[in-house]
């Protein structure tokens, strides 16, 4: 018991006597301090006293599909910082291949009586993936916010970058440079943001099926998809992520083609270091700061008991032109 008091007190920055008053339900402790002590108990893995177990922890699950794509740590930084300002403690849950699944993380978070969950990229965006764990959260009335487009009928609010505007910006940029053979490197066919991007491009220009490549979201996936499209004559590429775009650059170079004099590439996200690649990557920037703050506002409103509509807030992206796009080659 003494060790527990000392560890919690050190974590929160208060005296052991203050921790003891919280654990024993005694007065004389401010509400923010009381909540901080309870959150520290959860984080350190200690059970709450019986009389306090009915309360939800001041923990918020932040579930990410990976950390290799810099866009996800960027979202985590913004969202985590905004949560901390509200006295909420983010719990980072990152999926690994062959490791803990998204559904497993949901089970663990429910056991910790979390106040809410934020999903930034996950199975909610794939129509053919399992979604039972989302329904479990809804049945328990756990506040949830999704980052970027989801399948229909999940019933959660979402904060998204406007996929249609993003690819329209990329398409018009490549078209203005004289590219007529414009291809897309997208995620799987059941990936909702990718489907939106394809529909938006086809609303403004002609893209045959043979100019659409599907890939897992990685440099290797982009490389494989782009190699096929380059052989079909594509000179301008619109990609669904920056790692996919870097894969296109690699594929072009492996074929002895220069970027951007022979192949132009537009990414998506403007994640960290894209201005340091060779060449610096032209990409469509997601407004991470604004989106992250909106996510936390929606989540906190739900935690506070306010009703939040299960709607999607769309944020405007911005085309950032760098060195990976140029005039179309004369063939």
CATH 1.10.260.40 applies to domain 1-44:
yes
Rg of the chain in Å (alpha carbons): 23
**DSSP three-state, residue 45:** coil
CATH architecture, domain 59-161+288-316: 3-Layer(aba) Sandwich (3.40)
Sequence-separated contacts (24+) of 100-105 with Cβ below 8 Å:
102/63, 102/65, 102/133, 103/130, 103/132, 103/133, 105/61, 105/63
Q: What is the largest CA-CA distance in the chain?
A: 80
What's the pTM value of the predicted model, to 2 decimals? 0.82
CATH architecture, domain 163-286: 3-Layer(aba) Sandwich (3.40)
Parse the chain into domains and list their residue ranges: 1-44, 59-161+288-316, 163-286
| Domain pair 59-161+288-316 / 163-286, same fold | yes
- The candidate with the shortest Cα–Cα distance to 167, out of 241, 221, 218, 225, is 241
Structure tokens at 11: 């974590």
> β-strand 89-94 against 264-269: which pairing, if any?
unpaired
pLDDT tens track, the chain, 331 positions: 577 788 888 888 889 889 888 888 788 888 788 878 877 777 776 766 655 544 566 889 999 998 889 999 999 999 999 998 888 989 999 987 667 889 999 998 988 889 999 999 899 999 999 999 999 999 989 999 999 999 998 999 999 999 999 999 999 999 999 999 999 999 999 999 999 999 999 999 889 999 999 999 999 999 999 999 999 999 999 999 999 999 999 999 999 999 999 999 999 999 889 999 999 999 999 999 999 999 999 999 999 888 899 999 999 999 999 999 999 998 6
């Amino acid at each position: 018991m003494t060790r527990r008091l000392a560890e919690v007190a050190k974590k929160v920055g208060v005296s052991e006597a203050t921790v003891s008053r919280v654990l024993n339900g005694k007065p004389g402790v401010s509400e923010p301090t009381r909540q901080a002590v309870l959150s520290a108990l959860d984080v350190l893995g200690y059970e709450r006293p019986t009389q306090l177990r009915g309360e939800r922890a001041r923990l918020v699950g932040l579930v990410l599909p990976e950390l290799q794509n810099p866009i996800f740590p960027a979202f985590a930084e913004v969202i985590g910082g905004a949560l901390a300002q509200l006295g909420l403690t983010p719990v980072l849950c990152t999926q690994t291949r062959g490791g803990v699944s998204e559904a497993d993380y949901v089970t663990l978070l429910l056991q910790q009586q979390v106040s809410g969950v934020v999903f930034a990229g996950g199975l909610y965006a794939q129509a053919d993936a399992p979604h039972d764990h989302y329904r479990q959260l809804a049945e328990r009335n756990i506040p949830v916010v999704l980052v970027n487009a989801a399948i229909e009928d999940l019933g959660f609010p979402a904060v998204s970058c406007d996929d249609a505007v993003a690819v329209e910006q990329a398409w018009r940029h490549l078209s203005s440079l004289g590219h007529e053979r414009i291809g897309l490197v997208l995620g799987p066919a059941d990936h909702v943001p990718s489907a939106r991007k394809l529909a938006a491009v086809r609303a403004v220009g002609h893209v045959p099926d043979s100019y659409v490549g599907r890939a897992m979201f990685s440099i290797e996936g982009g490389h494989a998809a782009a190699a096929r499209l380059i052989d079909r004559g594509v000179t301008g590429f619109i990609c669904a992520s920056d790692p996919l775009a870097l894969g296109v650059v690699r594929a072009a170079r492996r074929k002895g083609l220069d970027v951007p004099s022979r192949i132009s590439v537009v990414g998506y996200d403007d994640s960290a270091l894209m201005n340091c690649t060779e060449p610096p990557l032209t990409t469509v920037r997601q407004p991470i700061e604004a989106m992250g703050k909106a996510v936390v506002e929606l989540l906190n409103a739900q935690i506070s008991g306010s009703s939040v509509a299960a709607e999607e807030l769309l944020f405007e992206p911005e085309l950032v032109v760098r060195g990976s796009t140029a005039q179309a080659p004369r063939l």
